[in-house]
Structure 1
Amino acid sequence: MFELDGHVALVTGAGQNMGAGAARALAAQGAAVAVNDLVAGRAEAVRDEIEAAGGKAVAVPFDVLDPDAVRAGVAAAGEAFGHPVDILVNNAGIHSDMVARPFRALDPALWRGPVDINIFGSLHCIHAVIENMVSAHWGRVIQISSGAGRTGLAIGVALYGAGKSGIEGFVRHLSQEVAKEGITANTLALGMMDNSTENPDVTRALAGMVPTGRLGTPTDVGAAVVFLAAEETSWLTGQTINLNGGSTMN
């Protein structure tokens, strides 16, 4: 069940944390994985890890905000594996300009970054792969989002939340446009994740706010991504699934 042999996945922002977890999980199920990251060394490290475990991977470093670089990276992945990308995991979502600050104190020069990477970065990647998916009558678009896109938070992430809200809305519309082509499009809205903070006290405090008593991990994200990528979930589309340890419920 959930075998992905013969499929090619592109995971953006996969050089670390949750993106790396998604890349590893897809490869473990048999998919050939194009590991993207803005930093080439991180993408190459995850590629090497997947290959050492017996999987198939290639590093495709590029900036998701550069549409020409996105198309070149998608083409390189297809050439490396002799098959076009048919599973897309849009995970890149943290812009270098992003700072946690109340909106009223946020310089307008910093407004665009979190919105651009979450909306336009994802659109560039979807646009680069969707026609091949339509031609094959099979494809998976998996958008990584955040609870910040659905719940107001007073922690200085309003523009990040706006970007996540916007791309979630787009994915719902996309799902309807391509449903009859055998393509599904869904969103995973992540809750509080363990991003390897060096302060165990902070980790414990955050975990205490989650009903399950722990933060999310790359393994949790990888399992959910595999579920959405699989043939067995071909009737699941247009949905936003909360992956948050029960912190918020539909």
Structure 2
Amino acid sequence: MFELTDRVALVTGAGQSVGAGIATVLARAGAKVIVNDLHEERAQKVAAEITGEGLSAVASVFDVTDMDSVVGAIRAAEAELGGAVDILVNNAGIAQGNWSGPFRDLEPEQWRLPIDLNIYGSLNTTKAVIDGMCERGWGRVIQISSGSARTGQNIGVSMYATGKSGIEGFMRHLAAEVGQFGVTANILALGHQENLAEFMPPERIQQLLRTIPIGRLGDPFEVGAACAYLASYEAAGLTGQTVDFNGGSQTR
């Protein structure tokens, strides 16, 4: 089950953490994976680790917010793998730069970074592959989101949450538009992940753990397994949905 042999998958922001886990699991399920990242060394490292297992992957370095770069890089990677993108996982979501903090402390120029990445980044990659999916009569679009999109939190991520809320709305409309062509679009809303240790002090993480019923942070390979299901033939009847993958945390 959940076999993706010969399918071509693009995972954005796949050079580390959750994205790397998703790319690896999809490759292990048989997909040929395009490992995207903004940083070449990260993309190359993950692609090399995948090919080191005897699986298929290529690194593709581009900024998802730059439409021309998106289209050019995707077409080049498709040519290298000998097939068009069947599975798109929009994972890139953490903007570089100063964008976090209470809204009252942010200047207008700080609003755009996470909103552009989470909305326009996903719009660009989706636009680049959706026509081909519809023409071939099969495709999967998976949007990685966050419980922050629907739950107010006093942790300084209002602009990130704004971007995630917007792209969740788009995905529901996309699902309604393309379902007739055999293409599904779903949202995987994650809870706190292992990479949180890069952004928060240990004492704050311990406080958060007490709010998570399973008592731990999320694992990238578990997220990858969820994506493998959403990308599978078996998930053809699931579209336009937001799946909360958060260890049991309350999202509403």
TM-score by length of 1: 0.96
**1:80 maps to 2:80:** yes
What is the 5 A alignment of 1:192-211? 192-195=192-195, 197=197, 202-211=204-213
Describe the shift of the 1:249–1:102 C-alpha distance in structure 2 as closer, same or farther (beyond 3 A): closer
**1:70 maps to 2:62:** no
8 Å contact kept, 2:99–2:159: no
Report the Cα offset of residue 207 of structure 1: 2.3
8 Å contact kept, 1:15–1:35: yes
Q: Give the AA of the match of 2:244.
A: N
Match of 1:247 in 2: 249
Secondary structure class of the residue paired with 2:227: helix
The superposition leaves residues 52-111 of structure 1 with CA deviations (integer Å, 9 ceiling, x where unpaired) of 111100000100011011001110121011110010000001111343211111011101
Structure 2 gaps, min length 5: none
Match of 1:184 in 2: 184
Secondary structure class of the residue paired with 1:30: coil
The superposition leaves residues 158-191 of structure 1 with CA deviations (integer Å, 9 ceiling, x where unpaired) of 1110100000000000000000100000000001
Deviates more, 1:183-192 or 1:204-213: 204-213
Secondary structure class of the residue paired with 2:197: coil
**1:119 maps to 2:119:** yes
Report the Cα offset of residue 220 of structure 1: 1.4
Over the matched positions of the two proteins, sequence identity in percent amounts to 54
Structure 1 gaps, min length 5: none
Match of 2:238 in 1: 236
Q: Give the AA of the match of 1:6.
A: D
Match of 2:144 in 1: 144
8 Å contact kept, 1:10–1:33: yes
Q: Give the AA of the match of 2:114.
A: P
Report the Cα offset of residue 209 of structure 1: 2.1
Q: Give the AA of the match of 1:187.
A: I
Match of 2:59 in 1: 59
CA distance in 2, matches of 1:173, 1:133: 16
Report the Cα offset of residue 203 of structure 1: 4.3
Q: Give the AA of the match of 2:21.
A: G
Q: Give the AA of the match of 2:137.
A: H
Describe the shift of the 1:31–1:68 C-alpha distance in structure 2 as closer, same or farther (beyond 3 A): same
CA distance in 1, matches of 2:146, 2:140: 19
CA distance in 2, matches of 1:99, 1:116: 12
Match of 1:221 in 2: 223
Report the Cα offset of residue 249 of structure 1: 5.3
Describe the shift of the 1:93–1:249 C-alpha distance in structure 2 as closer, same or farther (beyond 3 A): closer
CA distance in 2, matches of 1:92, 1:190: 13
CA distance in 2, matches of 1:174, 1:130: 10
CA distance in 1, matches of 2:146, 2:130: 23
CA distance in 2, matches of 1:122, 1:232: 24
8 Å contact kept, 1:21–1:218: yes
CA distance in 1, matches of 2:130, 2:190: 24
Report the Cα offset of residue 219 of structure 1: 1.1
8 Å contact kept, 1:35–1:46: yes
Match of 2:108 in 1: 108
Match of 2:214 among 206, 212, 215: 212
Q: Give the AA of the match of 1:129.
A: V
Aligned Cα RMSD in Å? 1.4
8 Å contact kept, 2:64–2:70: yes
